[in-house]
Structure 1
Amino acid sequence: MKDSEFLRAERVPMTKQDVRLVILDRLALQGARCMVDIGAGSGSVAIEAALRHPALSVIAIEKNPAALELIANNADRLGCRDQLTIIDAYAPCPLEVMADAIFIGGSGGNLCELIDWSLARLQPGGQLVMSFILQGNLTTALAHLRQCEVTAPECTQLQISQLTSLGEGEYFKPNNPVFVIACQRALVSSAGIEEVVDDCTI
């Protein structure tokens, strides 16, 4: 989807098109039933996931009032509101759901707690994907994941540049670098017991 298809608002972040493509690929949503988007912003990741996968139930967690309104408006306009549950809260928050995939797009300064909370709500083998623009958050996340029961994290740095006019010529205007981390919750716990959960309703 092009970024121009989404309504925008001042001070409400949006994950851009090229970065969304990588995030959605890492979320591996084929066959997934439930996805959670933490710090959903404009809702671009949650909504594109819903549109790509009509059987997917998507939960968008956000606290910014302007963003909450924008997510609902974008979902209404693009025809996926029935797939979307919007929660007005800071994560970690109560959530009686086991998800197949979780995306952390905003951490609010409690990244390690969010990772632990997300892994506790992921099905065994479920995908955890995070994106950052701050090197410090990348370092913190990688260090914390080494202590968690996850597969070896896959980490990608994206440096996207767009062809832009300048006077009579053109140049590639760079966007901020974005780091994307992806891993899976372990299928087997440290006790060696395989976990199976079959609940994805809210």
Structure 2
Amino acid sequence: MKRHHYGLPDEAFVRGDIPMTKKEVRMLALLQAHIEEDSCVVDIGAGTGSFAVEAALAAPKGQVFAIERVPEGVALIKANRQRQGLRNLQVLQGEAPGALQEVPPCDVVFIGGSGGHLAEILNGCDRLLKPGGRLVLTAVTAETLQEALSLCEGRPGYGALEAFGVQATRLRKAGRSHLFQALNQVFIIACQKKEE
């Protein structure tokens, strides 16, 4: 079976008006997740499902759960699942942490959106994440970054916290020239649950 290499172009996804984790950030977040071919992964606040789709491609023997509360997002995730021909991606409409009740113990939790419930979601993830599992979050606002760092730093039962900011700039053709187009800065926070 051929290994999936992260970095599907943004154009590979049906988009709509729902936020999407862009290719450059998605690749780095996926690398932080340490997904294996049989991993169980949950994507909370999945948006268009770009992270969940690539996680499912990377874990063909595993299972991925995409949780999204907005009906339009749920429809987009299903369309992107179909576009990639994935059978190991389950879409759950609901809001975390309540929707986490439908998810089995997992190896990776990715939080792309929290709907203002980050503390409660992290508590739910503590119960959900297997020992040795990875927790990866993205933050696009200063407030979310501050809250995520505050909640994750020194979190009982987790190893060293890693956090970094990504500012990607794409080259865009404009007539005979090329312009630089900056994407929004995103922070990626990752930590690992300690082995029991």
Q: Scaled by the length of structure 2, what TM-score is found?
A: 0.90
Give the secondary structure class of the aligned counterpart of 1:70: helix
Matches within 5 A, 1:23-102: 23-80=29-86, 82-93=87-98, 94-102=101-109
Question: What count of residue pairs does the alignment treat as equivalent?
Answer: 186
- Corresponding position of 1:171: 179
CA distance in 1, matches of 2:184, 2:103: 36
Matched, 1:157 2:165: yes
State the structure with more CA Rg. Answer: 1
CA distance in 2, matches of 1:145, 1:48: 25
- Corresponding position of 1:190: none
Does the aligned pair in 2 maintain the 1:60–1:85 contact within 8 Å?
yes
- Corresponding position of 1:125: 132
Post-superposition offset of 1:42: 0.5
Matches within 5 A, 1:189-200: 194=196
Does the aligned pair in 2 maintain the 1:39–1:62 contact within 8 Å?
yes
Give the secondary structure class of the aligned counterpart of 2:136: strand
Name the stretch that deviates more: 152-161 or 162-171.
162-171
Question: RMSD in angstroms over aligned alpha carbons?
Answer: 1.4
- Corresponding position of 2:191: 183
Does the aligned pair in 2 maintain the 1:119–1:128 contact within 8 Å?
no
Unaligned runs of 5+ in 2: 1-7
Name the stretch that deviates more: 26-35 or 126-135.
26-35
Does the aligned pair in 1 maintain the 2:35–2:58 contact within 8 Å?
no
Post-superposition offset of 1:52: 2.2
CA distance in 1, matches of 2:180, 2:88: 37
Does the aligned pair in 1 maintain the 2:36–2:58 contact within 8 Å?
no
Q: Scaled by the length of structure 1, what TM-score is found?
A: 0.87
Does the aligned pair in 1 maintain the 2:162–2:191 contact within 8 Å?
yes
Post-superposition offset of 1:185: 1.1
Give the secondary structure class of the aligned counterpart of 1:100: strand
Does the aligned pair in 1 maintain the 2:39–2:59 contact within 8 Å?
no
Matched, 1:136 2:136: no
Post-superposition offset of 1:169: 3.4
Does the aligned pair in 2 maintain the 1:92–1:117 contact within 8 Å?
yes
Does the aligned pair in 2 maintain the 1:32–1:101 contact within 8 Å?
no
Post-superposition offset of 1:24: 0.7
Give the secondary structure class of the aligned counterpart of 1:131: strand
Deviating beyond 6 angstroms after TM superposition, the runs of 4 or more aligned structure 1 residues are none
Q: Percent identity?
A: 38
CA distance in 2, matches of 1:98, 1:157: 29
